[in-house]
């Protein structure tokens, strides 16, 4: 169980990082529709961060 949770935490961290960079690149391009897309990506980032923290807390509870 711990190994699965560790893999899920790692994957969710990478997904968060990927979405964050995609949003930053969209902002840097300064496209007309980029603002709405970047805003949506940043909302995804917050959701993925919440998932990552929840999985991490669950991992700590399982290991205790």
State mean pLDDT over 9-13: 96
pLDDT score of 4 more than 80: yes
Residue 8 vs residue 23, higher pLDDT? 8
Residue 33, pLDDT score: 65
State mean pLDDT over 51-59: 96
Query: Which distant-in-sequence residues (6+ apart) come within 8 Å of 60 by Cβ?
Result: none
Query: Which distant-in-sequence residues (6+ apart) come within 8 Å of 6 by Cβ?
Result: 59
Q: For residue range 16-52, what is the model confidence (pLDDT) as tens digits?
A: 999 998 888 877 877 666 667 778 888 999 999 999 9
Residue 24, pLDDT score: 82
């Amino acid at each position: 169980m711990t190994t699965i949770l560790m893999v899920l935490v790692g994957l969710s961290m990478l997904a968060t990082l990927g979405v964050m960079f995609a949003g930053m690149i969209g902002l840097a391009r300064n496209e007309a529709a980029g603002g709405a897309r970047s805003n949506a990506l940043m909302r995804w980032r917050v959701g993925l961060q919440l998932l990552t923290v929840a999985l991490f807390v669950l991992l700590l509870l399982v290991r205790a």
